[in-house]
Chains A and B, each alone.
Chain A
């Protein structure tokens, strides 16, 4: 049985590879047979001619025998396909303009969807680089009626972990910057973690070990786990790193383990150390101090809902036990994957929609082109039918042609997608970790392949059905086409126009949103401001006084740089994000303990408001005199002042015991688009934080003083790394960037869509004009002015464009409604957007019909009449 299969396969392969040799052999074999047979007849006295005739007759026809022999080779199917393919290639190369247009169009369509597929696949489906993967949850604290979660306190975390029954384990993490001094001072992004951290993520050490519970005890020896990249950078070989010690923040710390780079969490962190020995600056015992991120690995057989319920019960119990800090605190549990997906979801949906629209338009366009081409092909098909090609064979031939077109486009599309995916990923998911790469893997290529076959069938089916219906008799009628064909073409062009207007409207909305974002009043002036960060940790800066002194000395030195107008420092730059939330006791407000409003608190030095151009509305800004020895003071923003002192008498009152000395205008703190919230400022010297961001206002280019600013820091502390050096203006631009990129990409897609629709319209109008050459010629002959004839053609195009635009706008309004909720400051109900889109489309339609209209108006009656 096996040998038979093997022989069969060998024979078929030989039949395929040595097709010509086999044909020769068959010829020779049959010729030999006929010869011998004829000789037999000749021997009994038959004349040679007659003998040969008899011999052929006995064989039953040489050609038939050959055909039957060929069939037994078992390669007939493949051979016909090969024939069809060669025929298709000949046909396609004979009409290069059509072929190139079709391939380019479809490749664009396939590349967009393939790139989006690989992005969506990575974001939504590809496993996270942590063994506990999709069981990893983020547990957050929710205060009051807020819908978003924030960081949690250490005692809360400990209670959750001790009481829960839904998770394999829970872990806590706080991100910090550490200073490493080896060759020179360098900032090292670090994480303080509980001993349960690596087990929760399922991450194992590639060398050495993870943390034990004993490592995370007060007074335990200082140890840490480092990333493979850190070990490689510092020691050359990660294997030799275990057991070595490095000085971090001025204290020696032993490396006990190395973990693979891919499994880092957070992905930017290089070293991890236990919370208890890592110099955790948060409060271990106060439930009101919240700055830990909490993670949990769901037990395999526990549902997320059950886990949420479990934690809610615990939170309620804690709220009863500790009402002053936890009365209104509940928890929120979400999958870790949502971190990557949630910020990308809107852009992802928009881009998937846009790429599918472009693909649909591409299909409609190629179908319309195919239909127009069908006119010239009617004759060819009729001839083939007349000389005996069977109906199924013709259909198969046409399908082969379309599939070939689709596959070539698909291959080209996959190559284009290689380039497009990074461009699109920048829009959809600008802040993803390094491990999240958007590869074109097997799945994406399979997707591209199925997409091309699908499109090949989609755009090929209608023209194929039309052409397969062509009968030999049509040849006699001169291959005249029914009007129904043009109707179908018209429909396709209308669909193209309608789809493209959706994209144009989407692009217009995003670009408008960019304009609106650029006009947002920031409450400050970012031009000419240089910002940079330092971290104030380690034994040198253990005391608040040391931190206050360092910041004050650096600010002093910055002020003395040539060209610097003012300088100051804060713990959080505006726009970049927000800050610590403090429960505020506000003088004159009586609220129950535990129900105080949460106010965002910022720490700022003297000169900070001036450096950022924040206008002081009433009272004064901080001065150098507001130091640790002076009475505590505060500055609040306008929103804060309006809310609690609507009569404008905020100054002189107290917040958390600090007297309000000034009111400043509202600034954009959390993000560019967030509404202002009550905010209060404390002097840096009265609450020196462990990190500082300096702001320097310069005459001219802020980057011109970078070297001097670095020197200013070095003069105060040579071992202090300076990082995140950038003009403040860049922060503003970075906030606008995702929307700007989305607008650009949608704009590009809209442009492609318009171009395709215009090509489709041009093709259709040219086709119609050609068909009406005779009629138009007659009109000219009968005295119609050329202008009138041209208008006739333009009117035809305008009607189609108008129908497409109206139906497109109806759908575009729905799309805009959705986009409106995702974009800043735009409304779906703006006639202007639709008028602009319709105008752009109208111009494209006019441009597309200009050529054909000119040709029509020059229709020569003689040429028209001679055509028949």
Chain B
């Protein structure tokens, strides 16, 4: 199966999750759907690594989880950004911007 979708660079999955959750609390499946939609299906979010990543973020206290009813009234685990998570998102967004700018500069040097 040929696939022109991009693999996520190491460490960016956490950033994407935090960004997705900064808009509204979501459950795991919704996060994976959202990431695919927003990236116009260009990003390959491995569903298998989504849950370990969520639990890692929860352990660090960047996101909080609680059980709630989903749109069709089923129990789902909703994740939402914590205060430290929001700070972390800002820091990582800025770091990412600096990184991409720097990489772009290097690639532009002719």
Given A36-B29, A65-B51: A8 and B75 within 8 A (CB)? Answer: no
Given A3-B84, A37-B29: A72 and B76 within 8 A (CB)? Answer: no
Query: Number of contacting residues on B, CB 8 A?
Result: 22
Which one of A28, A37, A65, A72 has the greatest number of beta carbons of chain B within 10 Å? A72
B92 within 8 A of A: no
Complex: A230 Cα to B58 Cα, angstroms: 68
Whole-angstrom distance between the Cβ of B88 and the nearest chain A Cβ: 9
Chain B 45-77 per-residue mask, 1 if CB under 8 angstroms from chain A, else 0:
011110110011011110000010010001111
Contact B77 A68, beta carbon cutoff 8 Å: no
A59 contact set on B, CB distance < 8 A: 47-48
A4 within 8 A of B: yes
Contact A8 B60, beta carbon cutoff 8 Å: yes
Contact A68 B60, beta carbon cutoff 8 Å: no
Q: Which residue of A lies closest to B74 (CB)?
A: A32
Complex: A72 Cα to B55 Cα, angstroms: 6
Contact A74 B59, beta carbon cutoff 8 Å: yes
B86 within 8 A of A: no
Contact A60 B46, beta carbon cutoff 8 Å: yes
Contact B59 A73, beta carbon cutoff 8 Å: yes
Contact A32 B29, beta carbon cutoff 8 Å: yes
B61 contact set on A, CB distance < 8 A: 3-4, 6-8, 11
Contact B51 A32, beta carbon cutoff 8 Å: no
A262 within 8 A of B: no
B34 within 8 A of A: no
B25 within 8 A of A: no
A58 contact set on B, CB distance < 8 A: 47
Contact B77 A71, beta carbon cutoff 8 Å: no
Chain A 16-58 per-residue mask, 1 if CB under 8 angstroms from chain B, else 0:
0000000001101110110111000000000000000000001
Complex: A74 Cα to B59 Cα, angstroms: 9
Which single member of A8, A12, A29, A37 contacts B77 (CB below 8 Å)? A29
Complex: A107 Cα to B52 Cα, angstroms: 46
B56 contact set on A, CB distance < 8 A: 72
A388 within 8 A of B: no
Contact B51 A69, beta carbon cutoff 8 Å: yes
A61 within 8 A of B: yes
A29 contact set on B, CB distance < 8 A: 27-28, 51, 76-77
Q: Which residue of B lies closest to A33 (CB)?
A: B29
Chain A 744-776 per-residue mask, 1 if CB under 8 angstroms from chain B, else 0:
000000000000000000000000000000000
Count A-B contacts at CB 8 Å: 72
Which one of A8, A36, A64 has the greatest number of beta carbons of chain B within 10 Å? A36
B48 contact set on A, CB distance < 8 A: 59-61, 64-65, 68
Given A32-B29, A32-B75, A60-B46: A7 and B60 within 8 A (CB)? Answer: yes
B47 contact set on A, CB distance < 8 A: 33, 37, 58-60, 65
Contact B60 A4, beta carbon cutoff 8 Å: yes
Contact A73 B55, beta carbon cutoff 8 Å: yes
Which single member of B59, B74, B84 contacts A72 (CB below 8 Å)? B59
Contact B59 A65, beta carbon cutoff 8 Å: no
A65 contact set on B, CB distance < 8 A: 47-48, 51-52
Complex: A28 Cα to B67 Cα, angstroms: 10
B55 contact set on A, CB distance < 8 A: 69, 72-73
Given A7-B60, A7-B61: A28 and B77 within 8 A (CB)? Answer: yes
Query: Number of contacting residues on A, CB 8 A?
Result: 29
A26 contact set on B, CB distance < 8 A: 51
Contact A25 B52, beta carbon cutoff 8 Å: no
Whole-angstrom distance between the Cβ of A18 and the nearest chain B Cβ: 14
Given A32-B74, A65-B51, A65-B52: A4 and B58 within 8 A (CB)? Answer: no
Given A4-B60, A68-B51, A69-B52: A33 and B28 within 8 A (CB)? Answer: yes
Q: Which residue of A lies closest to B64 (CB)?
A: A7
Which single member of B28, B59, B76 contacts A11 (CB below 8 Å)? B59
Whole-angstrom distance between the Cβ of A41 and the nearest chain B Cβ: 13
Whole-angstrom distance between the Cβ of B46 and the nearest chain A Cβ: 6
B51 contact set on A, CB distance < 8 A: 26, 29-30, 33, 65, 68-69
Whole-angstrom distance between the Cβ of B40 and the nearest chain A Cβ: 17
Q: Which residue of A lies closest to B75 (CB)?
A: A28
A30 contact set on B, CB distance < 8 A: 51
Complex: A8 Cα to B60 Cα, angstroms: 5
Whole-angstrom distance between the Cβ of A324 and the nearest chain B Cβ: 91
B59 contact set on A, CB distance < 8 A: 7-8, 11-12, 72-74
CB under 8 Å from chain A, chain B span 12-43: 27-29
Complex: A7 Cα to B52 Cα, angstroms: 17
Complex: A73 Cα to B58 Cα, angstroms: 10
Complex: A68 Cα to B56 Cα, angstroms: 10
Complex: A345 Cα to B52 Cα, angstroms: 64
Complex: A418 Cα to B49 Cα, angstroms: 55
Complex: A667 Cα to B32 Cα, angstroms: 103
Chain A 64-84 per-residue mask, 1 if CB under 8 angstroms from chain B, else 0:
110011011110000000000
Contact A32 B52, beta carbon cutoff 8 Å: no
B28 contact set on A, CB distance < 8 A: 29, 32-33
Contact A11 B58, beta carbon cutoff 8 Å: yes
Complex: A32 Cα to B65 Cα, angstroms: 15
Complex: A33 Cα to B59 Cα, angstroms: 21
Complex: A26 Cα to B55 Cα, angstroms: 10
Whole-angstrom distance between the Cβ of B93 and the nearest chain A Cβ: 18
Contact B77 A25, beta carbon cutoff 8 Å: yes
Complex: A64 Cα to B27 Cα, angstroms: 20
Which one of B49, B55, B56, B75 has the greatest number of beta carbons of chain A within 10 Å? B55
4 closest cross-chain pairs (CB), A and B = A7-B61, A60-B48, A68-B52, A11-B59
10 intermolecular pairs with C-beta atoms under 8 Å apart: A7-B60, A8-B61, A11-B61, A32-B70, A32-B75, A35-B74, A60-B46, A65-B48, A69-B55, A72-B59
- 5 extra A-B contacts, CB within 8 A, seeds A32-B70, A72-B52, A72-B55: A3-B84, A4-B61, A11-B59, A64-B48, A68-B52
